[in-house]
Amino acid sequence: MASETPVVTAPLPSGLAAVEQEIARACKEHGRDRAAVTLIAVSKTFGADAILPVIASGQRVFGENRVQEAKAKWPALIAAHPGLVLHLIGPLQSNKAKEAVALFDAIHSVDRPSICEALAKEIRSQGRHPQLFVQVNTGEEPQKAGVAPQEADAFIAACRDKYGLDIAGLMCIPPVDQAAAPHFALAAKIAARNGLKNLSMGMSADFATAIQFGATHVRVGSAIFGHR
């Protein structure tokens, strides 16, 4: 999916302006093209009144954690503002795959065979092809979703060969109590050896570091919308 620098139609809200400035700085510092990094404005728990000023400023790519929450607010926003792109960045349950494929343009949490089966079925049935990211649990945290790093290669191969899924990239969320850089480096290494060009990594506290390690998608919520 093409990355876009926002086409500004109204003044940038202060949070979004600061994030855009930091993305531009990180890209320049690490010799990367700003257009190679997609900013996903994570709007989970925020209603249309908070989202509309961000849309008006030119931001077009948004992220949600839950299918049901997204269903409640995004169809009307998308109808009113054609061209919006919606990413599911939270865990996906198999029984929500039909709704997820229908609504989202990208799904960042492919991490187990049951999800692969459900997504493959719905992609065939609906004829929609959202970008798919395999979530890698780089910290091997038991409470967190994602494929263990040592199992990632085999899982990516199964996604492609067994389930016929077109995997666009990897997603990771480093442990909160550890330095993010080694986790971003590990995800980048796994992506490279599997021929994956997209890396969804980096949130409000560490997206500049993620850009250093090759992030193509950064998921920023509180720095744009404020604390929940």
How many angstroms separate the CA atoms of 103 and 100, rounded?
5
- Mean pLDDT across the chain: 95
Is the CB of residue 37 less than 8 Å from the CB of residue 25? no
Q: What does the pLDDT read at residue 227? A: 81
pLDDT band at 226 (very low <50, low <70, confident <90, very high): confident
Q: What does the pLDDT read at residue 13? A: 82
Q: Which residues of 17-27 are buried (b: 16+ CB within 10 A; e: fewer)?
A: eebbebbeebb
Q: What does the pLDDT read at residue 196? A: 98
What average pLDDT score do residues 105-114 get? 98
How many angstroms separate the CA atoms of 220 and 17, rounded?
12
How many angstroms separate the CA atoms of 102 and 60, rounded?
18
Q: Which amino acid is at 108?
A: H
Say yes or no to pLDDT of 7 above 70.
no
Is the CB of residue 27 less than 8 Å from the CB of residue 56? no
pLDDT digits (tens, 9 = 90+) for 110-141: 999 999 999 999 999 999 999 999 999 999 99
pLDDT band at 97 (very low <50, low <70, confident <90, very high): very high
pLDDT band at 2 (very low <50, low <70, confident <90, very high): very low
What average pLDDT score do residues 55-59 get? 95
User: First-to-last CA distance in the chain?
Assistant: 29
What average pLDDT score do residues 3-23 get? 76
pLDDT digits (tens, 9 = 90+) for 171-204: 999 999 999 999 999 999 999 999 999 999 999 9
Distances (CA, A) of 27 to 13, 146, 186: 21, 28, 20
pTM summary value? 0.93
pLDDT band at 9 (very low <50, low <70, confident <90, very high): low
Q: Per the structure block, which two tokens stand in for 141?
A: 């945290």
**Percent of the chain's residues with pLDDT above 70:** 95
Say yes or no to pLDDT of 34 above 70.
yes
How many angstroms separate the CA atoms of 131 and 133, rounded?
7
Say yes or no to pLDDT of 1 above 60.
no
